[in-house]
Structure 1
């Protein structure tokens, strides 16, 4: 079953959803909150009906797995989005798709699941991830509150990522986290056995100088 409800950015960060790169869940959630939904007196209305399959939405089959359901049993349908291999998923913005690789399952494991009521509104929104190619992980499934979605909707993507990413919001010119972990000196073009030149000592008269690693 659902592990809990995410009400704040800090809770989203602590959940680990969509992290680390190349996972796309955080960007997917930002797109969903910013571009896909509208708020109508506190209720969520989709700009596009998920039944028509825009952006790769398709019906979610709430299968019984280990005598449990990923999300609560409801008479009305659930829909999921986030499978970058699915039909029409190429209409998602580039910032959602840019890290995707067919050879790396982690780049396509995150999903958003929504429950649509009889009036076409989305009364439940969940985030989850695949535990393998077929099954979702109930211990990594969370409901996302309307309040948190509204917070995200009113943020820039850069600000959102900087507040919820456990590795910080890295620009395109910075090294990937893998390289940051292994060496702060080694660049893409520097041989592994290269010994960096010593840095010059700081000028004696400038007490504000410091070594930047």
Structure 2
């Protein structure tokens, strides 16, 4: 069962979308702002049909690879978004796509997967990361609560990203993973993303 993220701190501490060049945090902000409405009864409603492939949405089949199914295996239609090389992804905002290199690094690792119920409402929203070209990491797949999506919807993007800054401990962990790595000229921080550079 995937852990549910209910608060900004839980999202930050999950490591989803971190560090650069990963795009997951900007993807999640876009999704909360531009893909989800809350109706009068409190249901999460898609703002457009996911079946049309808009923004690169496409069916997600929740394949079982080595008994590592990333989501609960309920029989509901599932859709995935976030593949920056998918048809339609060029319509995603620039702030989601700007670090994408199309090379084999982590700039295209993050995804959002949604389940739709019979009434067409979002039954579940998940953030996930690829382990390789096909598979997802079960231990790095998290359900995002409606409450957290509503919190994100209420923030400006810069405010959201500021609150997602890794803690001092997390920044040390990044450094330990790649000791001695110094940012190249192209990786040097800009004002809006210096916090997510591997130090």
> TM-score band (shorter)?
0.7 to 0.9
Work out whether 1:103 is the aligned partner of 2:103.
yes
Shift of 1:105: 2.8
Rounded to whole Å, the distance in 2 between the matches of 1:31 and 1:128 is: 16
Gap change, CA 1:42 and 1:136, over 3 Å in 2: same
CA contact (8 A) 2:63 2:69 kept: yes
Q: Which residue of 1 aligns with 2:73?
A: 73
State how far apart, in whole Å, the 2-side matches of 1:101 and 1:157 are: 22
Could you tell me which runs of 5 or more consecutive residues in structure 1 were left unpaired when the two chains were aligned: 182-213
Matching residue of 2:141? 141
Alignment CA distance shift 1:174-1:21 (3 Å): closer
Aligned length: 178
Instruction: Give the secondary-structure state (helix, strand or coil) at the position aligned to 2:106.
Output: helix
Between the aligned partners of 2:194 and 2:133, the Cα distance in structure 1 is 32
CA deviation after TM superposition for structure 1 residue 139, in Å: 0.4
Q: For 1:79, what is the secondary structure of its paired residue?
A: strand
* CA–CA distance in structure 1, aligned partners of residues 6 and 193 of structure 2: 33
**Aligned pair 1:158/2:153, yes or no?**
no
Could you say what secondary structure the match of 2:79 adopts?
A: strand
SS in 2 for 1:69: coil
Cα shift readout 1:80-115 (whole Å, capped 9, x = no counterpart): 000000010100000000000011430000000000
SS of residue in 1 equivalent to 2:143: strand
CA distance in 1, matches of 2:158, 2:133: 31
TM-score normalised by length of structure 2 = 0.84
Q: What is the CA deviation profile of residues 37-68 of structure 1, one whole-angstrom value per residue up to 9, with x for unaligned ones?
A: 10113211011111111000000011112224
Shift of 1:14: 0.4
Q: Give 3-state SS (helix, strand or coil) of 1:166's partner.
A: coil
Secondary structure of 1:64's counterpart equals: coil
Q: Would you tell me which structure has more helix in proportion to its own residues?
A: 2
After superposition, what is the alpha-carbon deviation per residue over 1:112-146, rounded to whole angstroms, capped at 9, x for unaligned? 00001111111100000001111100000000000
Q: Does 1:49 align with 2:49?
A: yes
CA distance in 1, matches of 2:92, 2:144: 20
Rate the CA distance shift 1:66–1:99 in 2: closer, same or farther, 3 A: same
Aligned CA-pair RMSD = 2.0
Structure of larger gyration radius: 1
Q: Bigger CA drift: 40-49 or 56-65?
A: 40-49
Q: How many angstroms apart in 1 are the aligned matches of 2:192 and 2:32?
A: 24
Number of the residue aligned with 1:94: 94
